[in-house]
Amino acid sequence: MTQPIGIGGLRAAALGGIRATGTTPGALAGQAMTVLANRVAGTLTRELGLAQGARAPLRPGDAYDTQGVARTLAAALGAAPADAGRLSRALNDFTGEVAALIAASPTSDVLDRLSGLGYALFDPDGRPGMTDTDHACVAIETAIFQLREDPNRTAR
């Protein structure tokens, strides 16, 4: 039996597990993902009637302000316009993956998966010549990959 998501208290804090402390590109990307995951989880659980709270109308086009978060991340990294576009696409993909995961299975297990993303997200060495944007995109892509893995699959 699964239990419904509760957005208050410990569960809301659990989503913060994506965030790494610091100002490295991976840590900044983690902070951006935390903001987006919290927005998605809060909105979807309220819309599905699984959490208390007023339902705020969704903004047309960019309901979770993914573009605003991407602009903030790009500014923090000093990204060029083309790199800002890459960050925006990566965060859009991440937000879509989180929304699909929560909508498909609105249980506390999903929040546990989101909170566990902080483990093994970042490659501190990277490849030679990687920019800060490259490091941030790798962190986001790693999170998406981990979200797409089937947690119920057993190793053979």
Helices (H), 22-124: 25-47, 66-77, 81-104, 108-115
Lowest mean pLDDT among 55-59, 108-112, 127-131: 55-59
The better pLDDT of the pair 111, 40 is held by 40
Q: Which domain holds residue 18?
A: 10-52+66-148
| Residue 31 maps to a domain | yes
| Radius of gyration from C-alpha coordinates of the chain | 16
Structure tokens at 107: 């249980």
DSSP structural state of residue 8? S
pTM as predicted = 0.77
| Residue 60 maps to a domain | no
Nearest in space to 137 (alpha carbons), one of 63, 82, 65, 98: 82
| Residue 5 maps to a domain | no
Note whether 7 and 111 are within 8 A (CB).
no
Question: Residue 4 forms beta bridges with which residues?
Answer: 107
* Residue range 88-108, pLDDT digits in tens: 999 999 999 999 988 888 777
Overall number of domains in the chain: 1
